[in-house]
Amino acid sequence: MGRRNFIKGMAAASAAVATPALALSEPAKGIKWDKQVDIAIIGSGFAGLAAAIEAKRLGGNNIEIFEKMAVYGGNSAINGGLFAAPNTPLQAKEGRKDSPDTMVADQLKAGRGIADEKILRHVAEHAMEALQMTLDAGAEYHPYLQQLGGHSVPRTYQTTVSCGGGITQPLLKECKKLGVTLSNRTKFEGFLLDEQGGVEGIKVRRGYYFGKEDGGNLEHIKVGKGVIVATGGFAQNINLRMAQDPTLTSEVGCTNAKGATGEAMLEMFRVGAVPVHMAHIQSGPWASPDEGGFGYVSNYSIYNFPHSIAVDRRTGLRFMDEIADRKTRADAQLERRDEQGNPNPPLMITSYKQSKQHPTAKKVLKYGVGWKFDSVEALAEHFGVPLAPLKQQIEEYNGYVKTGVDKQFGKNMAKAKGKYLEAPFTVVRLWPKVHYCQGGVQINPRAEVLNSMTGKPISKLFAAGEVTGGTHGVSRLGSCSIPECMVMGMTAARTILA
């Protein structure tokens, strides 16, 4: 058994989700069309919503968003609302020097040499436009930047509600205002292809209820200008993620919404798209085994990692750079084991003086997924951590805060300047959860889906966001998904309506 299999009974692991029935693409010849739209957008998260708004702004009409779930927003509505962009108003205000080049360099490093530099550069160069779209629609952000793991400078905005819903809801309202047709409980079931293998339309099931695959009515929709697939990742598809990484069993917790099962991506493979980086499935190193999904601890941890330490309960010592990229941290956490080899979630220790600056601190304490201690002795006793090594570790770490140099793990101490670890402390337990699939279909910087046999775009087929692959390589940096989703959604609209 893989090491992740021992999590049973700890994390609020998602129940195994039955794999939905696969959709089926077919020739369009002879089809009786039920309806026609100019642009069909599949999925209602950041990418789909941004595509719809941009298409409207460019004069597009007859645009419909199809969402298979009852609620709009997908994972975008439940994520941390963290948006990285270079050369933003907050960076100007804080005097931070940044550029697309710097942002791309950070991402390429995390991608370990296999990220797509062209797409990353395209996203970085247009990220401010996407951020502006959210501001125009009414999204509100904290008045400070955060520096997430793997980023060399602070460049991350976060919504005041610390959640992607703070963006999806304004964008949804904007769509309604602009006259985009929104259809929930409508599942994409396949492409309808012309004789050259290009997309002529789509087949959808109206009146779909998640988990009941044969209800509702099939509808054939002719698409005049383009289909934009913006259906997100496949982290909730147990079979598919285990095919890439057998340790990602149903017992491994997942931060995703239930609908993140990946069928539209598979359908694009069926019609010729190239699968890229499917095995690079990222776990969130900020997640907690004490609550379900993304919960509250995720945002709490993301905010506090720069000025906190993570310690192994058996040793009382640090074991990683707390702001390294996600894969580095997740792998390091997974190695924390008890004497029998069972998972032993590490502790993140923070000064309450710092943690209380972010609204999630109140929440994690209130809902019992975090703890507060007035002394290191009380903390050590509660979690069974050896006291002397822990005290020594805290003292050493405070030395790094003072000197600005982490001699243990090379952590960038700039964000921890002046933020000493001192009582009272707040503590959370950490354990990675499946979070993001770097893999998906290959696209070019114009958001066109490429055919595996010809290397050319598949006619009228576009994709944006987490359903695409290759962009981030091995490890996606935190807060880089929203800019990618939105910029590539906007790009798909621009390509279609150029």
Partner 1 sequence: MKTQITLAALLSFALSAGAAYAGDTLVDQGQVDGRTYHQKMYDKQNCKTCHGVKAPTSYPADDACVKCHKVDKLAAKTERQGDEKLQNPHDNLHYGKDVPCVECHGEHTSKEPLCSDCHTFDYPKFKK
Chain positions contacting partner 1, by CB under 8 A: 70-73, 77-78, 161, 163, 165-166, 168-169, 172, 184-185, 207, 209, 215, 258, 291-296, 359, 362-363, 367-369
Tokens read off for 12: 């609020």
CB-nearer residue toward partner 1: 77 or 477? 77
Active site residue 205: no
List of long-range contacts for 410-416, beta carbons under 8 Å, 24+ apart:
410/321, 411/321, 411/322, 411/323, 411/324, 412/147, 412/152, 412/323, 414/147, 415/147, 415/154, 415/306, 415/307, 415/323, 416/306, 416/307
CB-nearer residue toward partner 1: 78 or 309? 78
Rounded to the nearest angstrom, the gap between the alpha carbon of residue 351 and the centroid of all alpha carbons in its chain is 28
CA dihedral for 168, 174, 178, 184, sign (positive or negative):
positive
CB of 207 to partner 1, least distance (A): 7
Are the C-beta atoms of residues 308 and 352 closer than 8 Å to each other?
no
Query: H or E element: which one contains 171?
Result: helix 165-178
Which of the residues 155, 185, 313, 326 is marked catalytic?
Answer: 326
CB of 409 to partner 1, least distance (A): 31
CB of 178 to partner 1, least distance (A): 17
CB of 367 to partner 1, least distance (A): 5
Query: H or E element: which one contains 403?
Result: helix 387-403
Query: H or E element: which one contains 51?
Result: helix 46-57
Are the C-beta atoms of residues 469 and 441 closer than 8 Å to each other?
yes
Please state, in angstroms and rounded to a whole number, the distance separating the CA atoms of residues 156 and 453. Answer: 39
CB-nearer residue toward partner 1: 220 or 433? 433
What is the rounded end-to-end Cα distance, in angstroms, of the chain?
Answer: 52
DSSP 468: B
CB-nearer residue toward partner 1: 215 or 399? 215
CB-nearer residue toward partner 1: 197 or 359? 359
Which residues are known to be catalytic? 326
